[in-house]
Amino acid sequence: MSDMAGVKLSRRKLLIAGGATALAAACGGGTTTAPTATAAATSAATAAATAAPTLKIGMLLPFTKVYAELGNSMKRSTDLYLKQAGGKLAGRPVQVIYEDEANDAQISLQKTQKFIDQDQVDLMMGIVSTAIVYPLRNTIDAAKLVFIETNAGGNFLTREVPDCKPACKSKYIFRSSFSSWQISNPLGEYVSKKPDTKDFFICASNYGFGTESAADFVAGLKKNGGSETGRVLPPLGNTDFAPFVTQIKGQPTKNVFSFFSGTDAIGYIRAWNQLGLPAAGYKMFGAGFLTEQDVLKEVKEQAVGAITSLFWSTELDNAENKAFVEAFTKEYPGAQVDVFAVQAWDGMKMLDEALKKTGGNTKDKDALIAALEGVSFKSPRGDFSIDKSTHNPIHDMYIREVKVVGGKAVNSIVDKVGKVTDPGK
C-alpha cells in the first residue's frame, strides 16, 4: 500500500511540475519554452489516463466566530456529497482541504496563499463573507485558480465593474449561491404590483450586504411606482434591537423591508414581537435569510406572516429537494438542513458535472471553465444553470411566507418568480 501511495505521490508531483511549466510557458510566451509545455501536457494526459490523480479542493469556510455554523453546515453538505459519490469525482479520488475563514480578510488571504503555494490545489471553493471574497478576487484571478463561491452574494463579484472596485467578475470565479440583487430586487418588484404594498420603510443591517440589498429592493419597488419612506440602519452584530423596532413603531408606513440574518435576525424578530408590532398592524418583508432555518428554529411562530424571497425552502416540492433533505437529515440527525447546505451541495454538483465533461481534467483551465459555464442540472432549488457572461447562477426565486404547518413554523412557498438572472454583463 505504501508503495502505491509513493507512486501516486510522485506522479502527482510530476503533474504539478508539468502544470507549473505549462503555466510558466503560458505566462512567458517565449518560443523556446513552447516545446517543453507541449511535452508536459502530453505527459500529464498520459498520467491521467493510467492512474487518476487525487483532486485537491481548497475549501475556505468559517469554523470559528460568528459565521461558524454556516461553515459547519456547508462542510456537512460537501462531505455528504462526496460520500454519496464514493469519494470520487469523475473517477478521481477527492481530497478536500478545509481551512478556517475566521471572518478575517488577512487570515483568509494567508489561507488562500497556502492553497496556491503549499497545497497546490486544483481548485478552490467556499467563502461565506463578501467582505472577505472581494479583496481576494485579484489574488484568485492572478493565480488563475478556478474558484467556486458557495455563499457570499456581493453583486460586484460577478459583474463588470469600472476599475474593478471593490471587485469584479473574473474568468476563474464562479458562484453556486446567488447575487444579492437576485433575491431583493425581484421581491421589490413582486410586492409593488399590489396596491397595498407599494411603500416601504427600510430597516437593514448597516453593512455591504444589507445596504446593497435594500437598494436592490427599492429599485424593484420603483419599477411599479413604489417607494421608500425612510430607513434605520442598525450596526451589524447589534445587541439590543428594541431601539430600532421602537423607531419603526413611530412610522406611519406599516410595511417594513427588513434585512437581517443570524443573531441579528433573531434579535430583531424577538424585539418586533415583544414591542407588539404585529398587533399594531406592521408587516415584515425581507430577503430569505431573515427567516432561514437557523433563525426560524429559534423564533418559531414569532416570525409568522413574514414574507421573504429566496431560491430555496425546505418546503420546496421537487424530487431533488426531497432526496437532499432526507439524506442530509439521515446523515446528520440534529443538524439543520439549510440554504447554505444547498449552496455547498450545488457547488459540488457544478464541479461534478463539469468534471464529467472534461474527463476529470483540471489542468486545462479553459476546458474546465467552458465546462463549468455549460452546467445545467436539477438542484434541490429547482432548475440550475450558469450565466455564461457573469458566472452567476440562473435560478427561480420563491416568494415565501412563514406559516405554521403541522405544528412547525416553516417558509411556505406562496409564489415563484421564474429564472432570475443578475443584470450584470
Partner 1 sequence: MSPDLIVQQALNGISFGALLFILAAGLSLIFGMMDVVNLAHGAFYMLGAYVTLQVVRSTGEFWPALIVAPVALGLLGLALEPTLLRRLRGRHLDQVLLTIGVGLVIVDLIGLFWGREIRTLPLPPGLDRSIDIAGNAYPTYRLFVIVFAVALAAILTYVHRRTAVGALIRAGVDDAEMLSALGVDTDRLFAVTFAVGAGLAGLAGVIAAPAFALSPGMDVDALIYSLIVVVVGGLGTLGGAAVGAWLVGPADTFGKVLFPQFALALIFAIMAVVLLARPSGLFGRARIGR
Q: Do the Cβ atoms of 40 and 18 come closer than 8 Å?
A: yes
CA dist 181 to 101, 146, 187, 392, Å? Answer: 24, 24, 10, 11
38 or 246: whose CB is closer to partner 1?
246
For partner 1, the binding residue among 14, 24, 66, 109 (CB under 8 A) is: 66
Q: Which residue of 83, 171, 249, 419 would you call a contact of partner 1, by CB under 8 A?
A: 249
Question: How far is 405 from 292, CA to CA, in rounded Å?
Answer: 16
310 binds partner 1 (CB under 8 A): no
Binding mask 267-296 for partner 1 (x = CB under 8 A): x--x---xxx--xx-------------xx-
CA distance 81 to 75: 10
Stretch that binds partner 1, among 61-69, 281-289, 345-353, 361-369 (CB under 8 A): 61-69
| 2 scored as a contact of partner 1 (CB under 8 A) | no
Task: Tell me the per-residue interface mask from 225 to 244 with partner 1, x by CB under 8 A, - otherwise.
Answer: -------xxxx-xxxx-xxx
Stretch of 23-31, 64-72, 146-154, 171-179 contacting partner 1, by CB under 8 A: 64-72
With respect to partner 1, which residue has the nearer C-beta, 90 or 203? 203
Site string for partner 1, 86-105 (x = CB under 8 A): --------------------
- Which one, 72 or 197, has the nearer CB to partner 1? 72
Instruction: Rank residues 15 and 61 by Cβ distance to partner 1 and give the closer one.
Output: 61
CB-count exposure of residue 239 (10 Å: 0-12, 13-18, 19+): exposed
Under the binding rule (CB under 8 A), the answer on residue 208 touching partner 1 is no
CA–CA separation, 165 and 209 (whole Å): 16
Q: Which residue from 42, 64, 113, 227 is in contact with partner 1, where contact means CB under 8 A?
A: 64
Residue 266 within binding range of partner 1, rule CB under 8 A: yes
- Window contacting partner 1 (CB under 8 A); options: 49-57, 82-90, 266-274, 314-322: 266-274
Strand order in the sheet with 88-89: 88-89, 92-100, 55-61, 123-126, 147-149, 173-175
Of 178-186, 262-270, 348-356, 366-374, the window that binds partner 1 (rule: CB under 8 A) is: 262-270
Cell numbers for 238, please give them. Answer: 447589534
Which of 13, 65, 388, 419: binder of partner 1 (CB under 8 A)?
65
Give the residue with the Cβ less far from partner 1, 33 or 273.
273
How many residues bind partner 1 (CB under 8 A)? The answer is 37
Residues 262 and 282: their CA atoms lie apart, in Å, by 22
Task: Name the grid cell of 171.
Answer: 474568468
Of 173, 154, 183, 159, residue with least CA distance to 424: 159
Does residue number 246 form part of the binding site for partner 1 (CB under 8 A)? yes
Site for partner 1 in 127-156 (CB under 8 A): none
As a whole number of angstroms, the distance between CA 16 and CA 55 comes to 12
For partner 1, the binding residue among 29, 30, 86, 250 (CB under 8 A) is 250
Nearer Cβ to partner 1, position 233 or 370?
A: 233
Nearest to 399 by CA among 179, 184, 176: 184
> Is there a cis peptide before residue 166, judged by omega within 30 degrees of 0?
yes
Query: Residue 154 has which C-alpha cell?
Result: 456581493
- Strand 255-259 relative to strand 199-204, pairing: parallel
Phi-psi region of 26 (alpha: psi -120 to 50; beta: other; left: phi over 0): alpha
Q: Which value, in Å, is the radius of gyration of the alpha carbons in the chain?
A: 23
Amino acid symbol at 126: G
The rounded distance, in Å, linking the Cα atoms of 176 and 155 is 13
**Which segment (135-143, 247-255, 322-330, 360-368) binds partner 1 by CB under 8 A?**
247-255
- Amino acid at residue number 310: L
d(CA 295, CA 308): 13
Q: How far is the CB of 332 from partner 1 (least distance, A)?
A: 12
Q: Of 314-373, which residues contact partner 1 (CB under 8 A)? A: 336
Residues in contact with partner 1 by the rule CB under 8 A: 64-66, 68-69, 72, 206, 232-235, 237-240, 242-244, 246-247, 249-250, 262-263, 266-267, 270, 274-276, 279-280, 294-295, 298-299, 336
